[in-house]
Structure 1
Amino acid sequence: MDLTKKWHRSEFVSHEMLEVHRGIECELDFYSAIANGEIELVQENCNEQAFTNPEGMGVLSTDALRNIRYHYVVTVALITRFCVHEGLEQEKAYNLSDFYILEMDKCKTIEQISKLHDVMCLDFCKHMHEIKNSQVLSKQVVLCLDYIYSHTHYRITIREVAEYLRLSESYLSRLFKKEMGISFSQYILNLKIDKAKNLLRFSEYSIGEITYYLGFSNESHFIQTFQKRVGETPNRYRRRCFRTEWELKQN
């Protein structure tokens, strides 16, 4: 299919209608603000509803709702890459991206997508704010965190990570404790408990399924560990917190 003529015609029509896209500097500044963890600036942009402002918005579809969907996907993709470049764990960034695109797919109106866009931007920004306000990590520890995050559902040992990074166990253990402030095993356990809390809040997976998914040896061990860390059993936590945060975000 020869699209050359169609392209020249489209370009001519755009010029005739004086259709001008937003300056790329504004978009790059917004993505940079997210990647740098500038929460107040990002919140201000969201309050201005710049995302759905039709002035200067490119036309990716003649259908208004589909057009916003396409712009949303482009925005998530770029934010993800900006944040990875500034230090967000790659696997976490792509998981966040996938999550928010799948949530957008459930939206039925432009208003719903606009609200989700703001939640998504601020979520990425808060992750980056935490990173920017922590100490600068060495390349070895950053790669170690990437490995841990992408293997959270397995039983991870410092030996396997050290082998993956081609470091000695003792050196990695000392380096991790020095830069993260807690031991390697403590960090993994904290991460697993945080993931368990999210699964209990936002999913309907059983305690047994969560136990298996997070690589605990058995359900009893998971329940005891969770209760010790959180101060209540997984079942009680779920009854108290199930979807409360999600409902708050949607209102």
Structure 2
Amino acid sequence: MQMIRDGNLNYKTIFDQASTVSHGVQVNSDNPMQQIQTTYIVFISLCVRAAIEGGLSPDTAYALGDCYIQSIIDCRTVSEAMAIGHTMYEDFIQRVHKYKCSQNVSQTIQSCCDYIQMHIEDELPLQNLAKYFGYTDYYFSRKFKKEMGVSYNEYLKAERIRHSQTLLKTTTLSLQEISAQLHFCSRTYFTDAFKSITGISPADYRQKYKRN
């Protein structure tokens, strides 16, 4: 939990060692799926609390937690639950790390970034967010780029690619379905954007992180 509070990216070794320390929450059941689902639901709840203590906004943390808990409830195999758990842990650490690295960002732009993360599968035209935060399109666009170092559209694309990584690791959605769900104009454009940001194609990424 302290790794999450600190946004410490050197978490992989610690996380891998965790399974040797505890087998999770003890449940009076012979059903291994019930055991691991209960364990991960408790684990997610603890991660949500740690992320908030690390600076992540409660709205974002609770919304993420709810999504991951639902994914755990819906999963059908132990390996699938473990993949979701790993992704969830990495997601919270990376979000807290990102927050701590953006301490000089204004509350308005930070709230905008939180809004994007919570509504990443929605249509998010710049004009709508500018109006939502009380700015003209021109001023909001310049303010966002000045504080974040990238344009609004570049940031949105990167966040959608990051979310697609989670979907590739934790769902069986096709590339076409993920592309449409994240509002890329075509599967080809999604693939090109994914590769330009991650250095690997979405199909290869899914295969690389697939858990048997």
TM-score, normalised to structure 1, is 0.60
SS in 2 for 1:52: coil
Q: For 1:227, give the aligned amino acid.
A: D
Gaps of 5+ in 2: none
Q: For 2:4, give the aligned amino acid.
A: I
CA apart distance, 1:140: 0.6
Count how many residue pairs are aligned between Structure 1 and Structure 2. Answer: 203
Q: For 1:36, give the aligned amino acid.
A: D
Equivalent residue for 2:209? 245
Equivalent residue for 1:79? 47
Equivalent residue for 1:98? 67
- 1:133-148 to structure 2, matched below 5 A, reads 133-148=101-116
CA distance in structure 2 between the partners assigned to 1:158 and 1:169 by the alignment: 7
CA apart distance, 1:124: 2.6
Equivalent residue for 1:156? 124
Equivalent residue for 1:165? 133
Identity %: 21
Equivalent residue for 1:223? 188
CA apart distance, 1:141: 1.0
SS in 2 for 1:106: coil
- 1:202-221 to structure 2, matched below 5 A, reads 203-207=172-176, 209-216=177-184, 218-219=185-186
CA apart distance, 1:197: 5.5
2:148 corresponds to 1:180:
yes
For residue 8 of structure 2, the aligned residue among 25, 31, 38 is 38
CA RMSD of aligned residues (A): 3.9
CA distance in structure 2 between the partners assigned to 1:225 and 1:115 by the alignment: 23
1:122-153 residue CA offsets vs partner (Å, 9 max, x unmatched): 44324423433344422111211122223333
CA apart distance, 1:88: 3.6
Q: Please say which structure displays the higher CA radius of gyration.
A: 1
TM-score, normalised to structure 2, is 0.69
CA distance in structure 2 between the partners assigned to 1:114 and 1:225 by the alignment: 27
Gaps of 5+ in 1: 1-30
Is contact 2:5-2:96 (8 Å) kept?
Answer: yes
- 1:168/1:130 Cα in 2 relative to 1: closer, same or farther (>3 Å)? same
Is contact 1:33-1:42 (8 Å) kept?
Answer: no
